[in-house]
């Protein structure tokens, strides 16, 4: 059973903020799965900030997207034809060929997931790479210790909304977060359990951070970089730890971006600043998923998804996420 499918191609390398014209929705036909292959109908696909980096032709920890070819990324789908007994028709699977309606791929490149106990989207959010990023950052990269004050930027997003809650579970005495706009600021406190929040669009981050963390910060989980990193360095207590997770304020930059001009404070304060990539922390996945599944089941870990429907809206979902239209994880739903 061959299928007609649509997939999103990158057709031009964006300069600055990507434009819809940098992408094309292309129709294609996929063949029957051969031996050892499966044909998957994607139900959910993920759009993530790291994809912006892959749109550039620069060397990184992950290969750039090729021009004129489908982009890829996380997806959860249903097997509709199978050439491998270990992954039967009807199975829900997690895999890496997102940005398309259907995927033909080796059975060994998919992981069968249980979507009866948890919604499929959770595997692209709290029970997947997103949740593990928050957990690895706060346990191995910049470990939270009992009584710490923790600051999270990008706090209303996918990683950030989980990081704040995990910080508390790991022993933080005070957790503060930063996000864009009054509504997100409100939700950080009322829905995601932050003790206090900053709307960075109100400006003077250093002053705002001093107000919500008057005794300083022990652990900073940095999703944003730039001014946020500068303000955090100013607020850090001696021996503070900074997990450099991302720098989304710079992803659309068209030239080199200077580092924080107060970095020298890290010397006197004996700070550790450590970058990390979630893929290097896969050994934590089992432990994390066990703990997070329990917290999700008993309502102690709250997650949110912002859902956009249809492959034709996948690019606009990505662009909207980069501009902050999401709370929690931005996902594209292709079926159902």
Binding stretches for ligand NDP (CB under 6 A) = 48-50, 130, 133, 154, 156-160, 179-180, 184, 200, 223-224, 245-246, 248-249, 276-278, 321-322, 324, 326
C-beta separation of 307 from 127 below 8 A? no
Tell which residue, 77, 98, 100, 80, has the closest CA to residue 88.
Answer: 80
Phi, psi of 51 (to 5 degrees): -65, -25
Q: What are the tokens at 122?
A: 């959770």
Q: How far is the CB of 112 from ligand NDP (least distance, A)?
A: 24
Considering the complex, what minimum distance in angstroms separates the CB of residue 221 from ligand NDP?
Answer: 9
Rounded to the nearest whole angstrom, what is the least distance from the CB of residue 133 to ligand NDP in the complex? 4
CB of 179 to ligand NDP, least distance (A): 4
Check: CB of residue 223 under 8 Å from CB of residue 245: yes
Which of 172/179 has CB closer to ligand NDP?
179
Nearest Cα to Cα of residue 161 among 139, 178, 174: 178
Of 70 and 164, CB closest to ligand NDP: 164
Instruction: Give least dist CB 147 to ligand NDP, A.
Output: 26
Strands 37-46 and 69-70: unpaired
The CA distance from 147 to 158, in Å, is 25
Residue with Cβ nearer ligand NDP (38 or 317): 317
How buried is 26 (Cβ within 10 angstroms: 0-12 exposed, 13-18 middle, 19+ buried)?
Answer: middle
Least distance in Å: CB of 113 to ligand NDP? 19
Tell me whether residue 120 or residue 141 sits nearer to ligand NDP (CB atom).
141
**Rounded Cα gap, residues 185 and 176, in angstroms:** 10
Nearer to ligand NDP, 6 or 151 (CB): 151
Q: Six-digit token pair at 64?
A: 């750039």
Pick left, alpha or beta for residue 89 (phi over 0 → left; psi -120 to 50 → alpha; otherwise beta).
Answer: beta
158 versus 296: smaller Cβ distance to ligand NDP: 158
């Amino acid at each position: 059973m061959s299928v007609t499918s649509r997939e999103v191609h990158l057709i031009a390398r964006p300069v600055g903020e990507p434009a819809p014209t940098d992408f094309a929705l292309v129709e294609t036909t996929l063949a029957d799965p051969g031996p050892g292959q499966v044909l998957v109908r994607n139900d959910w696909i993920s759009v993530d900030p790291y994809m912006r980096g892959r749109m550039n032709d620069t060397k990184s920890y992950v290969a750039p997207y090729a021009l004129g070819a489908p982009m890829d990324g996380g997806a959860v789908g249903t097997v509709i034809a199978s050439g491998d007994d270990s992954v039967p028709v009807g199975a829900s699977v997690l895999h890496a060929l997102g940005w398309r309606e259907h995927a033909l791929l080796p059975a060994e490149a998919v992981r069968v997931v249980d979507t009866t106990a948890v919604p499929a989207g959770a595997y692209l959010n709290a029970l997947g790479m997103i949740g593990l990023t928050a957990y690895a950052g706060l346990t191995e990269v910049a470990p939270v210790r009992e009584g710490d004050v923790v600051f999270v930027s990008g706090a209303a997003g996918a990683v950030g909304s989980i990081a704040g809650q995990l910080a508390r579970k790991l022993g933080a005495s005070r957790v503060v977060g930063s996000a864009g706009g009054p509504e997100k600021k409100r939700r950080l406190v009322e829905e995601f359990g932050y003790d206090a929040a900053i709307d960075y669009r109100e400006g003077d981050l250093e002053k705002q951070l001093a107000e919500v963390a008057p005794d300083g910060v022990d652990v900073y989980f940095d999703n944003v970089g730039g001014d946020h990193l500068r303000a955090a360095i100013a607020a850090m207590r001696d021996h503070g730890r900074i997990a450099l997770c991302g720098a989304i304020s710079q992803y659309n930059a068209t030239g080199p971006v200077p580092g924080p001009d107060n970095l020298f404070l890290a010397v006197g304060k004996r700070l550790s600043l450590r970058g990390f990539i979630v893929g290097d922390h896969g050994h934590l996945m089992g432990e994390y998923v066990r703990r997070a599944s329990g917290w999700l089941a008993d309502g102690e870990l709250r997650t949110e998804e912002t859902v956009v429907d249809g492959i034709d809206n996948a690019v606009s979902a990505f662009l909207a996420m980069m501009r902050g239209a999401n709370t929690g994880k931005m996902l594209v739903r292709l079926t159902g």
